[in-house]
């Protein structure tokens, strides 16, 4: 394990335990088994350390989103199945990283104060990923979106659905209830975004003939 990884692991534990405001560089150094001077060699301040932790959380969430979309697509899921899986994986990863901390709301708030640029950077990355997934799945499955709806617009609507659900669940807690309600929102949204009149229809199976079946003849039938 690299020194940076060890420091970030230790810092995550400290921030979860004490929140941002009550955490210190000294606590993070002690948790990492380093001196304060050694930690300062990698991070110049508590704020810089917090930003690095947040950036790693977003990278892990983005990786979880991509992996979940790929797995659901490989299993032959519908567009709704794939988007629900990918978005839930991303948000579930973020929620799990802070699960059990008594300072979840403070950490999310400080996230926006200390790392708003990172929030905006990854919000754009998440939107790009969702739009790419929609484009790819629609092409593969022959789906057509309603008039005026593009993959980018649908991705934007997905993000608005996420934000709307977040408003009912501060800091995405409790996570299980948050993800359940979000799934309902997303499935309803996606069903309304697809043009039902332009979807591929499954071919009707042709009746099979049984060559071994012979016509039954009655005793009085003429040959």
Residue 219 has pLDDT above 50, yes or no: yes
Residue 203 above 50 pLDDT?
no
Over range 95-100, report the average pLDDT.
88
- In eight-state DSSP terms, residue 194 is B
Mean pLDDT score of the chain: 90
**Is the pLDDT reported for residue 70 higher than 60?**
yes
d(C-alpha 98, C-alpha 54), whole Å: 11
- The angle formed by the CA atoms of residues 193, 199 and 204, to the nearest 5 degrees, is 150
Percentage of the chain lying above the pLDDT 90 cut: 78
Give the pLDDT band (50/70/90) at residue 211.
Answer: low
For the stretch 76-89, pLDDT in tens is 999 999 999 999 99
216 against 121, higher pLDDT: 121
> Shortest CA distance to 14 belongs to which of 48, 49, 40?
49
Query: In which band, very low, low, confident or very high, does the pLDDT at 148 lie, cut at 50, 70 and 90?
Result: confident
Question: For residue 170, what pLDDT band results from cuts at 50, 70 and 90?
Answer: confident
pLDDT of res. 23: 97
Q: How far apart are CA 87 and CA 179, in angstroms?
A: 9
Pick from 92, 81, 79: which is nearest to 154 by CA? 79
Task: Give yes or no for residue 223 having a pLDDT over 70.
Answer: no
* Average of per-residue pLDDT across 19-24: 96
* Model confidence pLDDT, tens digit, residues 109-135: 999 999 999 999 999 999 999 999 999
- Give the model's confidence band at 27: pLDDT under 50 very low, under 70 low, under 90 confident, else very high: very high
Beta pairing partners, 194: 145
Per the model's pLDDT, the better-predicted residue between 153 and 217 turns out to be: 153
| 48 contacts: CB under 8 Å, gap ≥ 6 | none
């Amino acid at each position: 394990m690299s020194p940076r990884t060890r420091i970030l692991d230790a810092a995550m534990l400290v921030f979860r335990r004490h929140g941002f405001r009550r955490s210190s560089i000294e606590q993070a150094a002690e948790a990492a088994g380093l001196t304060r001077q050694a930690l300062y060699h990698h991070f110049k301040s508590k704020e810089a350390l917090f930003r690095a932790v947040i950036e790693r959380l977003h990278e892990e969430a983005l990786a979880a989103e991509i992996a979940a979309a790929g797995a659901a697509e490989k299993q032959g899921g519908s567009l709704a199945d794939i988007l629900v899986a990918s978005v839930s994986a991303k948000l579930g990863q973020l929620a799990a990283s802070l699960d059990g901390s008594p300072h979840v709301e403070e950490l999310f708030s400080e996230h926006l104060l200390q790392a708003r640029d990172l929030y905006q950077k990854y919000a754009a990355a998440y939107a790009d990923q969702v739009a790419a997934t929609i484009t790819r799945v629609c092409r593969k499955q022959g789906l057509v979106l309603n008039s005026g709806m593009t993959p980018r617009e649908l991705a934007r609507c997905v993000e608005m659905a996420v934000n709307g659900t977040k408003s009912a669940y501060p800091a995405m807690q409790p996570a299980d209830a948050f993800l359940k309600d979000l799934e309902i929102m997303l499935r309803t949204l996606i069903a309304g975004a697809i043009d039902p009149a332009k979807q591929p229809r499954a071919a009707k199976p042709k009746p099979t003939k049984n060559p071994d079946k012979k016509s039954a003849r009655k005793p009085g039938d003429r040959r």
